[in-house]
Amino acid sequence: MSAERIVDVALEMVDHDGVDGLTMRGVAAKLGVAVTAIYWHVGDKEALLDAVADRVAAEVGGIRVTGADPVTRIVSLGRSLRRNLLERAHLVAIAHQQGRTAAVFQPARRVLVRELTAAGLRGADAAFSVQAVLALVSGSVLTQVQVERAPESRDKPEELWTIGDVAAAPDLLEFLADPIDPEQLFTRSLDTLVRGLVASRPGP
């Protein structure tokens, strides 16, 4: 028995069943120990959640960068990060909940600074661009995380468009009816954003 082992199984439970799947009694049972032993090693549930979040911040958030030109490389970085985070959506959710989002993004932030500098951005523009790209990734992941939590979404896009003044834009109906793939939406948004950011730099 050690704090480390406790966090091990806690992280495992969160990864598998989400935050709601983590109970003090469940952790104790999985370790074959009395519930109260947990309290001695890691403190109460809030402390356990913090410990799990710390571990997530250390283990999640890896990226890969490919491509030749700056825009392609930055977009590939964003896509890689997003994919990585979505693979462990439950863990990302708990890190975010415990206020460790910035730590999760730290490895990506460092690489991103390098790539944006290589793209010619400097000073305040570069700093803003870092935040903007990471915010887009964060937003995309968080939006999708909670959607996955409720697998049978009650929203029917078709219904949403049958009511109201659709006559205002009839040529859009066919496109708005079927929902866009989240990954495509993210990639194209990121591409548009990054082009705009890079274009704002002073000319050579």
Q: What residues line the site for DNA (CB under 7 A)?
A: 1, 22-26, 33-37, 39-41, 44-46
User: What SS3 class is residue 107?
Assistant: helix
Of DNA, its own copies, none, which one sits near residue 84, judging by CB under 5 to 8 A according to partner kind? none
Gap between the Cα atoms of 29 and 92, Å rounded? 25
Q: How far apart are CA 20 and CA 51, in angstroms?
A: 16
Instruction: Convert 104-138 to b/e letters by CB count within 10 Å (16 or more is b).
Output: bbebbbebbeebbeebebeeebbeebbeebbebbb
Q: Considering the rule CB under 8 A, would residue 62 count as an interface residue with its own copies? A: no
Q: Which amino acid type is present at position 60? A: V
Binding at 9: pick from its own copies, DNA, none (beta carbon under 5-8 Å per type): none
Q: How far is the CB of 49 from DNA (least distance, A)?
A: 9
Please give the structure tokens belonging to residue 85: 């985070």
Pick out residues in 41-60 that bind its own copies (CB under 8 A). Answer: 50
Nearer residue to its own copies within complex by CB, 43 or 139: 139
Applying CB under 8 A, among 150, 167, 203, 204 the residue interacting with its own copies is 150
As a whole number of angstroms, the distance between CA 187 and CA 134 comes to 13
Inter-residue contact 28 to 76 (CB < 8 Å): no
Pair of tokens at residue 10: 């806690």
> What SS3 class is residue 27?
helix
- Closer by beta carbon to its own copies, 3 or else 33: 3
Note the residue count of the chain: 204
- Among 120, 176, 183, 201, the residue binding its own copies under the rule CB under 8 A is 176
Q: If binding is defined by CB under 8 A, does position 92 make contact with its own copies?
A: no
Tokens of 23: 């109970």
Task: Name the minimum Å distance from CB 69 to DNA.
Answer: 50
Rule CB under 8 A: which residues touch its own copies? 50, 96-103, 106, 109-110, 113-114, 117, 122-124, 126-128, 130-132, 135-136, 138-140, 142-143, 146-147, 149-150, 152-155, 157, 160, 164-165, 168-169, 171-172, 175-176, 180, 185-186, 188-189, 192-193, 195-197, 200
